[in-house]
């Protein structure tokens, strides 16, 4: 009997040795079942062999992992000491919670899982967010179109004002980057929006015509909402066939427009309004010819010259050198002599339909083009004169040789006499 008891004790001792040899070290995670919650401490049963205790500041309620634990739950904790003064394993939910949450963020980033993030603050670069127990950041570029600050001129103060209106909101996001070592968590609301867009975009193709409402205007184009929450960009060059300074010259927010889908790049939709109208430049040579005198209205004054409106569709450029033969003629004089809205007679000097360009000069002005023509003609005349002189030299050469030979023969004859 004594021998059996001794053998049992030996077996138990061996089991303990095996257990402690396999037990994680300080800083590692261990699993256990909650056996008690009292006096500011939580005790865990570790594999039926040891009791672990979490107490004081190591209790962690910020993460959803630990704020509602109850007896019987299996939880993870980080080992602070393998054995404390009471023979219990000293554990921490705080450290474990930190690790567990970061592990989850890495999984979310890898698998592209959508999660919730609460906006806690804003700066000019983006939003600070709270994801579980971790603070993260969302750059302005990662906001979805509904929240993106479309501020004219990109005024950073106005951008910040807009971003501050999002503080307190719960946003659906995806994790772009989770780096525990650098404590860096970057999230994106746009990624979620793009996934939603892709599903809807399957029903559209390049070339389709859509009808929608102008939702925003920027210096580079107009945004148009259409279909089921879709939004496309009409670049400034795709609004009308004429050159314009800003989309607001043609459109305003709330306008109903028809547009053609010209490109689908992932979730980005590019539209064109002008392509639904025939290009007036295709038939420009049926209306205008080089050398023709036309009446045009000054549409805009630029440092390099005038934009002149010949009709509703065709605009031409009169360069500053084509407005006066005076070399000192400057931009100030251009604005004084040719105010916007005034009409003048111009001569068409060039037409380039493929480039949507038509060159003009003020009627009666010699202009740069004529100067070039004159210089070219003069250069050509000089070249021809030089060529003629060379030919004459070549033709005279044999005659000179004959004269030399005759003189040589005469000299020989005199010598013989």
Architecture of the CATH domain 112-189: Beta Barrel (2.40)
pLDDT attached to residue 235: 96
Pick the CATH number of 2-99 from 3.90.25.10, 3.40.1360.10, 2.40.50.140, 3.90.1300.10: 2.40.50.140
The structure tokens listed for 159 are 């951008």
Predicted pLDDT of residue 16: 60
Rounded to the nearest integer, the mean pLDDT of the chain is: 83
Region 43-70: mean pLDDT is 76
Give me the residue spans of the domains in the chain.
2-99, 112-189, 203-276, 281-369
Main-chain dihedrals φ then ψ at residue 335, nearest 5 degrees: -65, -35
**Model pLDDT for residues 160-194, shown as the tens digit of each residue:** 999 999 999 999 999 999 998 888 999 999 999 88
What pLDDT does 313 receive?
A: 87
Cβ neighbour number for residue 120 with a 10 Å cutoff = 13
Contact 276, 284 (CB under 8 A): no
- 345 near 294, Cβ under 8 Å? yes
**Of 393, 292, 389, which Cα lies nearest the Cα of 347?**
292
Mean pLDDT of 80-101: 82
**400: pLDDT strictly greater than 60:** no
What number is the average pLDDT over the span 324-349? Answer: 92
pLDDT at 13 over 70: no
Three-state SS for 91?
Answer: strand
Is residue 396 within 8 Å of 382, Cβ to Cβ? no
Average pLDDT rounded to a whole number, residues 186-207: 87
Give mean pLDDT, residues 242-251: 88
Averaged pLDDT, 274-300? 92
Query: Per the structure block, which two tokens stand in for 386?
Result: 């030089």
* pLDDT, position 57: 65
Instruction: Name the CATH superfamily for 203-276.
Output: Nucleic acid-binding proteins (2.40.50.140)
Residue 260's pLDDT is 96
Average pLDDT over residues 11-31: 70
Task: Give the pLDDT confidence of 61-72 residue by residue, as tens digits.
Answer: 555 566 677 888
Beta carbons of 213 and 223 less than 8 angstroms apart = no
Q: Mention every residue, 6+ apart, whose C-beta is less than 8 A from residue 342.
A: 297, 298
pLDDT for residue 172: 94
Q: Say which DSSP state 142 is in.
A: G
pLDDT value of residue 331: 87
Q: Note whether 2-99 and 281-369 share their fold.
A: yes
The residue among 8 and 273 whose pLDDT is bigger is: 273
Read off the pLDDT of residues 364-391 as tens digits, 9 standing for 90 and up.
998 765 555 545 555 665 666 566 666 5
Which pTM does this prediction carry? 0.50
Token pair listed for 30: 């261990």
Integer Cα distance of 80 and 374 in angstroms:
94
Give the pLDDT score at 65: 61
Do you know the residue count of the chain?
417
Fold of 281-369: OB fold (Dihydrolipoamide Acetyltransferase, E2P) (2.40.50)
Which has more pLDDT, 243 or 290?
290
pLDDT tens profile 115-167: 999 999 999 899 999 888 788 999 999 999 888 887 766 678 888 999 999 99
Q: Out of 7-11, 65-69, 120-124, 258-262, which region has the weakest mean confidence (pLDDT)? A: 7-11
DSSP-assigned states of every residue in 242-258: S--S-GGGT--TT-EEE
Q: Which range, of 38-47, 288-297, 388-397, averages the lowest pLDDT? A: 388-397
Token couple for 87: 């023979």
Distance CA 272, CA 280 (A): 16
Cα distance between residue 265 and residue 142, in whole Å: 17
CB < 8 Å & 24+ apart, contacts of 367-370: 367/321, 367/322, 367/325, 368/319, 368/321, 368/322, 369/322
């Amino acid at each position: 009997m004594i021998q059996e008891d001794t053998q049992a004790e030996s077996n138990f001792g061996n089991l303990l040795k095996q257990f402690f040899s396999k037990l994680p070290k300080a800083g590692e995670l261990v699993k256990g079942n909650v056996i008690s919650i009292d006096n500011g401490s939580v005790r865990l049963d570790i594999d039926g062999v040891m009791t672990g205790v979490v107490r004081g500041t190591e209790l962690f309620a910020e993460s959803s992992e630990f704020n509602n634990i109850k007896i019987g739950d299996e939880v993870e904790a980080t080992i602070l000491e393998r054995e404390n003064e009471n023979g219990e394993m000293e554990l921490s939910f705080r450290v474990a919670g930190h690790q567990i949450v970061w592990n989850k963020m890495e999984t979310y980033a890898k698998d592209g899982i959508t999660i919730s993030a609460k906006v806690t603050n804003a700066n000019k670069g983006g939003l600070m967010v709270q994801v579980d127990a971790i603070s993260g950041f969302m750059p302005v570029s990662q906001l979805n179109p509904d929240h993106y600050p479309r501020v004219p001129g990109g005024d950073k103060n106005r951008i910040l004002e807009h971003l501050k209106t999002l503080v307190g909101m719960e946003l659906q996001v995806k994790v772009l980057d989770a780096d525990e070592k650098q404590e860096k968590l970057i999230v994106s609301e746009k990624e979620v929006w793009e996934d939603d867009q892709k599903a809807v975009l399957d029903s559209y193709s390049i070339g389709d015509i859509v009808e929608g409402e102008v939702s925003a205007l920027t210096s580079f184009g107009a945004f148009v909402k259409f279909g089921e929450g879709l939004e496309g960009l009409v670049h400034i060059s795709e609004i009308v066939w004429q050159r314009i300074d800003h989309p607001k010259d043609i459109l305003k927010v709330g306008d109903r427009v028809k547009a053609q889908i010209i490109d689908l790049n992932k979730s980005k939709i590019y539209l064109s309004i002008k392509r639904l109208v025939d290009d007036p430049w295709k038939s420009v040579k049926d209306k205008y010819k080089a050398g023709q005198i036309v009446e045009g209205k000054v549409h805009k004054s630029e440092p390099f010259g005038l934009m002149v409106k010949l009709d509703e569709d065709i605009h031409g450029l009169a360069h500053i050198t084509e407005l006066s033969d005076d070399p000192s003629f400057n931009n100030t004089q251009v604005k004084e002599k040719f105010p916007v809205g005034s009409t003048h007679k111009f001569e068409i000097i060039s037409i380039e339909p493929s480039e949507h360009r038509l060159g003009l000069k003020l009627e009666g002005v010699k202009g740069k083009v004529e100067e070039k023509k004159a210089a070219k003609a003069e250069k050509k005349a000089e070249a021809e004169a030089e060529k003629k002189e060379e030919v004459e030299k070549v033709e005279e050469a044999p005659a000179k040789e004959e004269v030399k030979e005759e003189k040589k023969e005469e000299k020989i004859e005199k010598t013989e006499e």
